[in-house]
Amino acid sequence: MSFNKLAYDRYSVRRFSDRKVEREKLDSILEAALAAPTAVNRQPFRIWVIESPEALEKARESTHFHFHAPVIFVVGADPSAAWERPYDNRNFADVDAAIAATHMMLAIHDLGLGTTWVGHFDPACLKTPFPDMAPYDLIAMFPVGYPAQDCVPHPLHETRKPAGEIAVFL
Ligand SMILES: Cc1cc2nc3c(=O)[nH]c(=O)nc-3n(C[C@H](O)[C@H](O)[C@H](O)COP(=O)(O)O)c2cc1C
């Protein structure tokens, strides 16, 4: 599949089947994250794979957007480990973590799974039951599973600004 076909085929999956996600596929998603480029190669991100019933129950309390997925990935950025641009001290932790997260999102689709990038969650509700997450800036949750048979893209999926509105050739 060409890259643009993969990019356009992907859509936010919000209905999942009960089928369990194989461990090799979870490992493959993590591998995709590890391949991500980061500023000065600092790799200032961490990923939690939430799969046990107890941990899933706790994680689901942090968001309405868990879609009862059988696995949830959480991606955190660590500003203390990230490169800062010297001119304006801009910290690149969230950028780096978002690149890794994007790799994961596309790999999930490539593996025949589905997900939605979820930003609407309460980080404090994750950090209390999972204290390991406390120092991190939690940038994304990915509920992951096999798409339900009747799953279709939301109409927003088709709404893309034209290139002329986004790109500026100077
Ligand atoms: C940073 C970010 C945060 C998002 N947060 C949520 C969310 O909390 N809940 C949700 O249902 N979708 C969320 N989405 C999914 C977007 O709504 C979706 O990607 C967009 O409408 C385009 O649709 P598509 O992914 O099907 O192409 C988020 C996407 C991004 C990139």
Residue 120 Cα: closest atom of ligand 1? 8
Structure token digits, residue 70 = 């059988």
Query: Residues lining ligand 1, CB < 6 A?
Result: 11-12, 65, 116-120, 153-154, 156-157
Angle, CA 49 vertex, CA 137 and CA 144 arms, to 5°: 100
Q: Whose CA is nearest to atom 31 of ligand 1?
A: 117
How confident is the model at residue 29, as a pLDDT?
A: 98
Amino acid identity, position 163: A
Distant-in-sequence, close-in-space partners of 49: CB < 8 Å, separation ≥ 6: 26, 30, 71, 73
Q: Distance between CA 55 and CA 121 in Å, rounded?
A: 16
**Which one-letter DSSP state was computed for residue 131?**
G
Question: What predicted TM-score, i.e. pTM, was given to this entire model?
Answer: 0.97
Q: Give residue 120 CA to ligand 1 midpoint distance, Å.
A: 9
pLDDT mean across residues, the chain = 97
Q: Whose CA is nearest to atom 29 of ligand 1?
A: 117
Convert the pLDDT of each residue in 16-64 to its tens digit: 999 999 999 999 999 999 999 999 999 999 999 999 999 999 999 999 9
Q: Which domains does the chain have, with CATH numbers?
A: 21-146 (3.40.109.10)
Select from 105, 102, 111, 93 the least CA-distant residue to 46: 93
Convert the pLDDT of each residue in 68-83 to its tens digit: 999 999 999 999 999 9
Q: Give residue 157 CA to ligand 1 midpoint distance, Å.
A: 9
Select from 123, 13, 116 the least CA-distant residue to 59: 123
